A = this chain, B = another copy of it.
C-alpha cells in the first residue's frame, strides 16, 4: 500500500470536491497531514496538471485534466450507454426532468440527466451522490436488493441527527414498491419524483430511471402518465440491456 499514493488521492479528492479553491492548510488539517507533505504532493499534482494554484491567494483548485481523467469512464459505462435513448424517450413522454442512476455503495450515483426546459430546476447534478432511500430511484433499486435492511441501517446511522429514518417502516414500504413496480419520493415537498428500477440479469437492479416534477404542476392525471411512462421505459430498457 503506497502511502503517498493514498494521500495524493485523498488530497485530490478534497481539492476536487470543494467548489471554491481550497487552502493548503485546511487540507492538512482535514486529513491530519503535515503541511510539508501536503505541499510536496500538491506540487507533484501540479506538475502533472491535475491541480493549479491561484496566483494571488495561493489556494489550490482541480483542473479540467482531473475531469478528463474520468470522462471516458462514464461514456463506456454500460448502463449510461444503454440509457441514452430511453432517457430521451422518457423526457419526451413527460416533459420533465429525467435521470439515470446506479447504486454506488449505499448511495445512488447520478450518471446523467435531461433537465426540464421549464423554470423549476433541481440541484442534483450528474456525478452527485445521495443516500439511496431518500430518492425515488434509490427506493426502486433497494426494493430488489436482498440485503436492503443492512443498507438502510447503515444509512440510518449515517444520517443520525440530520434526518431520522425508520428502518422497519421503510422496509414495508419497499415491499409495496416491489409489488407495484415503481417508487415515489416526497423528500422535497415542492417536488414529486417517480422512480423505476432497471432489472438486471441477476434479479437485482442494474440501475434506475426517475422523473422529477414540481408538485404544483402535477395533478393526478399527470402523475399516472409519469408512472406509466417510467414503468414501460424501464422494462424496455431492461430488455435492451439484457440483450448485450
Given known A-B contacts A73-B16, A73-B63, A41 and B5 have beta carbons under 8 A apart = yes
Residues of chain B within 8 A (CB-CB) of A102 are 64
Residues of chain B within 8 A (CB-CB) of A9 are 8, 45, 48, 50, 69
Inter-subunit contact B125/A75 (CB<8 Å) = yes
Q: Which of A98-143 contact B (CB under 8 A)?
A: 102, 104, 109, 111, 117, 125-129
Inter-subunit contact B72/A5 (CB<8 Å) = no
Q: List 6 A-B contacts (CB under 8 A).
A: A1-B44, A5-B44, A16-B69, A64-B104, A67-B77, A69-B70
Decide yes or no whether A40 CB sits under 8 A from chain B: yes
Closest CB of chain B to A27's CB: distance in Å?
A: 15
C-alpha gap A2/B77 in the complex (Å): 32
Inter-subunit contact A127/B68 (CB<8 Å) = yes
C-alpha gap A72/B14 in the complex (Å): 11
Given known A-B contacts A72-B17, A75-B127, A109-B68, A2 and B8 have beta carbons under 8 A apart = yes
Closest CB of chain B to A46's CB: distance in Å?
A: 10
Closest CB of chain B to A2's CB: distance in Å?
A: 5
Inter-subunit contact B76/A12 (CB<8 Å) = no
Q: Which of A50-83 contact B (CB under 8 A)?
A: 50, 62-77
Number of interface residues of A (CB under 8 A): 47
Residues of chain B within 8 A (CB-CB) of A75 are 125, 127
Residue of B nearest to A17 (CB): B72
Residue of B nearest to A74 (CB): B67
Decide yes or no whether A13 CB sits under 8 A from chain B: yes
Decide yes or no whether A223 CB sits under 8 A from chain B: no
Residues of chain B within 8 A (CB-CB) of A66 are 69-70, 73
Decide yes or no whether A19 CB sits under 8 A from chain B: yes
Decide yes or no whether A150 CB sits under 8 A from chain B: no
Residues of chain B within 8 A (CB-CB) of A63 are 73
Residue in B5, B17, B117 whose CB lies within 8 Å of A8: B5
Interface centre among A62, A126, A127 (most CB of B within 10 A): A127
